[in-house]
């Protein structure tokens, strides 16, 4: 049941366009083809690099992300979930380094997406991208002290505020990716407020680009709806920029510990079925791969031991953060509006997915979970269409599962066991990680207890 992917590169038809990249998917007697869209110009104008090993890693991350999106697991999986993917020929210029790291890479990507990857490489003579004459001149890029990923979410907003508060002399470079388009709107909204109010003027710059599979020739298979490898793509962009600034330039990946650890709420979500985009094990494995390739830029998540509520509480500029919170978006289901009770241009959170729940909990911890009807499509405590007791209602499934987990009140030792089952390898820090989960549970209980919904309180044994 192996799905085989072959990569074809064609010379771009005009300047300023990345090579035409075609993915060919072979499964038994069937073949599907898709093109990749990669807006490389914003990154290239900054780094002027298409030869380094960091460029190879960037292109590798672009390909893996798009292969992940192309191979629909409902069709090309072993049991409805796990895919076995063989990539025949990822073209790289530093072939020896990638071949030596093959085992580590296969293991890391398999852990990230919950699949079985066998990634092979071929010698590339270089990318044929020819830049336009009018691309931006960044001047001296060594003035950037650090690189920070910026998605437009609340965590990344806190991340850039905290880093901008710390920087004294140099500047911060923000790396942003937009695939679905809505992320770009969130990023633009925040950056517009920054500019309008002259916040941190001359202390930051942003690179915003897009990567995604094309709309043509997908056939009848449809795109894979999960985004398991998005963090790899994001990191690939960040490492490319950081490497070209300097070998010691750090990459900051802001994510609260609750989401990074993503403890399975039920046994069926353990291991491969659990999202691991910024999981400490994946991050550590990826750092080891980069080190073995002599990419020495250090990447880290400064909030891996913080809940989202603690991130807000401890942010270094409360005034600016509170001014910008509503411009950020945490929702994972913002396009699923069928069960929304509230609608309007300013509402961009469904209110029912786990990221929305964690956002509301974090705001409650800080006395900010107010005016819910103007910020969320559904208030889970006062829903009209939303029914927590309707077992077949998909919109309430995530919250129901969370309530079941909270009702069990797992001990610290039980949380540690679940984290180990879910792939945590750093045993020396297992207690610290378990305490993050435990504090999250306590904060969720406080949030529920403050509501007037007796049904939900009963479900977690509060009354």
pLDDT per position as a tens digit, 26-60: 988 889 999 999 999 999 999 999 999 999 999 99
CA–CA distance, 72 with 80 (Å, rounded to integer):
10
Instruction: Judge contact between 298 and 268, C-beta under 8 A.
Output: no
CA–CA distance, 208 with 226 (Å, rounded to integer):
22
Predicted confidence at residue 214, as pLDDT, reads 82
**350 vs 81 pLDDT, higher one:** 350
Predicted confidence at residue 364, as pLDDT, reads 98
pLDDT band with cut points at 50, 70 and 90 for residue 459: very high
pLDDT band with cut points at 50, 70 and 90 for residue 226: confident
Strands 211-213 and 30-38 come out as: antiparallel
CA–CA distance, 246 with 244 (Å, rounded to integer):
5
412 to each of 278, 415, 433, how far by Cα in Å? Answer: 22, 5, 10
- Is the pLDDT reported for residue 220 higher than 70? no
- Is the pLDDT reported for residue 351 higher than 60? yes
Q: Taking the model in full, what pTM does it have?
A: 0.95
Q: 309 exposed, middle or buried (CB, 10 Å; 0-12, 13-18, 19+)?
A: buried
Backbone angles phi, psi at 360, to 5 degrees: -65, -40
Angle in degrees, 0-180, between the axes of helices 354-365 and 430-449, rounded to the nearest 10: 80
Encode pLDDT of 273-330 as tens digits: 457 889 999 999 999 999 999 999 999 999 999 999 999 999 999 999 999 999 999 9
Predicted confidence at residue 278, as pLDDT, reads 95
Predicted confidence at residue 184, as pLDDT, reads 85
Encode pLDDT of 421-444 as tens digits: 999 999 999 999 999 999 999 999
- Distance from the Cα of residue 34 to its chain's centroid: 23
pLDDT band with cut points at 50, 70 and 90 for residue 159: very high
Report the mean per-residue pLDDT for the chain. Answer: 93
User: What is the sign of the dihedral through the CA atoms of 357, 359, 362 and 367?
Assistant: negative
- Is the pLDDT reported for residue 268 higher than 70? no
Backbone angles phi, psi at 379, to 5 degrees: -95, 110
- Is the pLDDT reported for residue 181 higher than 70? no
CA–CA distance, 61 with 81 (Å, rounded to integer):
22
Lowest-confidence segment of 10-24, 107-121, 160-174, 192-206 by average pLDDT? 10-24
Q: 437 exposed, middle or buried (CB, 10 Å; 0-12, 13-18, 19+)?
A: buried
Encode pLDDT of 352-411 as tens digits: 999 999 999 999 999 999 999 999 999 999 999 988 988 777 778 899 999 999 999 999
Instruction: Judge contact between 183 and 209, C-beta under 8 A.
Output: no
Predicted confidence at residue 272, as pLDDT, reads 44
Predicted confidence at residue 407, as pLDDT, reads 96
Encode pLDDT of 104-135 as tens digits: 999 999 999 999 999 999 999 999 898 988 89
- How large a percentage of the chain has pLDDT more than 90? 79
CA–CA distance, 238 with 170 (Å, rounded to integer):
18
Closest CA to 383 of 391, 372, 394: 372
Predicted confidence at residue 338, as pLDDT, reads 79
Q: Is 118 helix (H, G, I), strand (E, B) or coil?
A: strand
- Is the pLDDT reported for residue 269 higher than 70? no
CA–CA distance, 299 with 172 (Å, rounded to integer):
15
Closest CA to 117 of 103, 100, 99: 103
CA–CA distance, 334 with 348 (Å, rounded to integer):
6
Region 66-78: mean pLDDT is 91
Predicted confidence at residue 182, as pLDDT, reads 67
Encode pLDDT of 238-256 as tens digits: 999 999 999 999 999 999 9
Backbone angles phi, psi at 270, to 5 degrees: -70, 165
- How large a percentage of the chain has pLDDT more than 70? 96
Predicted confidence at residue 307, as pLDDT, reads 98
**134 vs 7 pLDDT, higher one:** 7
């Amino acid at each position: 049941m192996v799905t085989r992917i072959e990569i074809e590169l064609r010379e771009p038809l005009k300047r300023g366009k990345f090579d035409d990249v075609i993915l060919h998917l072979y499964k038994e007697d069937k073949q599907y083809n898709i093109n990749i869209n990669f807006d490389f110009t914003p990154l290239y104008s900054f780094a002027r690099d298409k030869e380094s090993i960091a460029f190879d890693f960037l292109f590798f991350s672009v390909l893996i992300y798009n292969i992940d999106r192309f191979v629909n697991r409902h069709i090309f999986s072993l049991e409805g979930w796990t895919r076995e993917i063989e990539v025949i020929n990822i073209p790289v210029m530093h072939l020896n380094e990638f071949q030596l790291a093959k085992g580590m890479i296969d293991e890391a990507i398999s852990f990230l997406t919950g699949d079985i990857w066998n990634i092979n490489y071929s010698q590339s003579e270089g990318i044929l991208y020819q830049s336009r004459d009018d691309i931006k001149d960044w001047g001296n890029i060594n003035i950037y002290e650090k690189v920070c990923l910026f998605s437009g979410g609340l965590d990344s907003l806190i991340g850039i505020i905290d880093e901008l508060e710390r920087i004294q002399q140099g500047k911060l470079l923000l790396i942003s990716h937009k695939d679905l388009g809505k992320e770009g709107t969130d990023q633009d909204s925040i950056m517009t407020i920054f500019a309008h109010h002259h916040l941190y003027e001359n202390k930051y710059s942003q690179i915003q680009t897009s990567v995604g599979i094309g709309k043509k020739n997908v056939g009848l298979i449809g795109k894979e709806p999960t985004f398991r490898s998005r963090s790899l793509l994001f990191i690939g962009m960040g490492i490319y920029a950081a490497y070209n600034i300097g070998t010691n330039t750090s990459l900051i990946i802001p994510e609260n510990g609750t989401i990074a650890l993503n403890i399975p709420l039920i046994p069926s979500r353990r291991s491969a079925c659990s999202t691991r985009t910024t999981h400490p094990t994946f991050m550590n494995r990826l750092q080891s791969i980069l080190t073995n390739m002599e990419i020495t830029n250090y990447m880290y998540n400064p909030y891996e031991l913080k809940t989202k509520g603690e991130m807000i509480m401890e942010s270094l500029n409360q005034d600016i953060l509170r001014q910008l919170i509503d411009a950020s978006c945490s929702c994972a289901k913002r396009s699923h509006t069928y069960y929304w009770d509230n609608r309007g241009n300013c509402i961009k959170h469904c209110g029912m997915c786990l990221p929305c729940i964690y956002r509301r909990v974090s705001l409650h911890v800080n006395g900010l979970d107010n005016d819910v009807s103007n910020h969320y499509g559904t208030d889970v405590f006062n829903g009209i269409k939303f029914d927590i007791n309707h077992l077949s209602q998909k919109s309430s499934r995530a919250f129901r599962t969370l309530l079941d987990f909270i009702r069990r009140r797992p001990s610290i030792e039980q949380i540690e066991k679940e984290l180990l089952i879910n792939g945590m390898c750093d045993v020396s820090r297992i207690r610290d990680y378990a305490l993050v989960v435990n504090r999250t549970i306590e904060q969720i209980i406080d949030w529920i207890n403050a509501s007037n919904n007796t049904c939900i309180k009963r479900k977690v044994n509060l009354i």
